[in-house]
Amino acid sequence: MAQEQAVSQQDPLLVQRDGHLLILTLNRPERLNALNRPLQAALNRQFLEADRDPTIRCIILTGTGRAFCSGADVEHLRNEGGKSIEQQLVKPPQFTARQCGIFTPTICAVNGVCAGAGLHFVADSDIVIASDSASFVDTHLNVGQVSALEPIGLIRRMPMSHVLRMVLLGKAERVSAQQALDYRLISEVTAPDNLLNRARELGQIVASVSPAAARASLQAIYDSLEMPLAEAYEKGHEALIRYREHPDAAEGVAAFLEKRPPRWQ
């Protein structure tokens, strides 16, 4: 049974537990779920708490209203512009799981327009699905801002040629859900009224595997992006050998041989 935490519908982030799933819903529909400081802080807090909670095996992220996330709130940009360069460089963004340095599996369910800074969630999630009414657009250049962080993440997910079109053409290059699927930006398109149900289905599958093995696998995969191929294989081999000492490694083999569901630690 899904359970809501003690939050108000006015909170910028709605938090719900459904068994081993943590469902985070961006909740600023009047601002198309634009990112401001309170919303970023709430996301950061929930990701870090999830990392410390062994009962959370998968995180689902979606939005309320007709948008998923329209990017950074314009008022937030104005406030940041009043700070010195040194103040702004102190701390990079930390409102996605990867930015927070955690490897709890994350599913992004894009329910509507995903623009600008909202593309961080797409770039940093492990599985991304979308409603057939969703769209993707990078509007940084249209408002005089540099587009750097989001495209750097996106070129690890989709061809660079499509990323460059999104950056340089800005709001004139609105990518539909079907195009996003063709570009490999997302992995699945579903009807709007089935989006969250489908995300839950995928989340339950993820939650059924060894949570420790899932996190170790994701960390090995993401860490490899920073290494030459030979080193990445060496580190990956070391990770899988060292994991064999974890109780789940023995439990998985035993459950398979005994033809029973595994009991993960």
Tens of pLDDT, residues 62-90: 999 999 999 999 776 655 556 666 656 55
pLDDT band at 6 (very low <50, low <70, confident <90, very high): very low
Spatial contact of 176 and 135, defined as CB atoms under 8 Å apart: yes
Domains of the chain: 2-208 (3.90.226.10), 211-258 (1.10.12)
- Indicate whether 26 pLDDT > 50: yes
The model carries a pTM of 0.91
What value does the mean pLDDT take over residues 153-170? 97
Question: How many percent of the chain have pLDDT more than 70?
Answer: 91
Tens of pLDDT, residues 165-220: 999 999 999 999 999 999 999 999 999 999 999 999 999 999 999 999 999 999 99
- Indicate whether 227 pLDDT > 60: yes
Q: How far apart are CA 22 and CA 5, in angstroms?
A: 11
Which residues in 218-254 are b (16+ Cβ under 10 Å) and which e? bebeeebeeeeeeebeeebeebeeebeeeebbeebee
pLDDT band at 1 (very low <50, low <70, confident <90, very high): very low
Spatial contact of 122 and 185, defined as CB atoms under 8 Å apart: yes
pLDDT band at 5 (very low <50, low <70, confident <90, very high): low
Tens of pLDDT, residues 125-155: 999 999 999 999 999 999 999 999 999 999 9
- Indicate whether 102 pLDDT > 60: yes
Spatial contact of 48 and 100, defined as CB atoms under 8 Å apart: yes
Tens of pLDDT, residues 238-249: 999 999 999 999
Question: How far does Cα 140 stand from its chain's mean position?
Answer: 20
Q: Whole-angstrom distance between the N-terminal and C-terminal Cα of the chain?
A: 22
**DSSP 3-state of 195:** helix
Query: How far, CA to CA in Å, does 222 sit from each of 82, 209, 226?
Result: 35, 19, 8
| Contacting residues for 136 by C-beta, under 8 A, at least 6 apart | 110, 113, 114, 115, 119, 122, 166, 174, 175, 180, 185
Tens of pLDDT, residues 34-59: 999 999 999 999 999 999 999 999 99
Spatial contact of 216 and 249, defined as CB atoms under 8 Å apart: no
Residue 82: count other Cβ atoms within 10 Å of its Cβ.
8
- For residue 85, the model assigns a pLDDT of 66
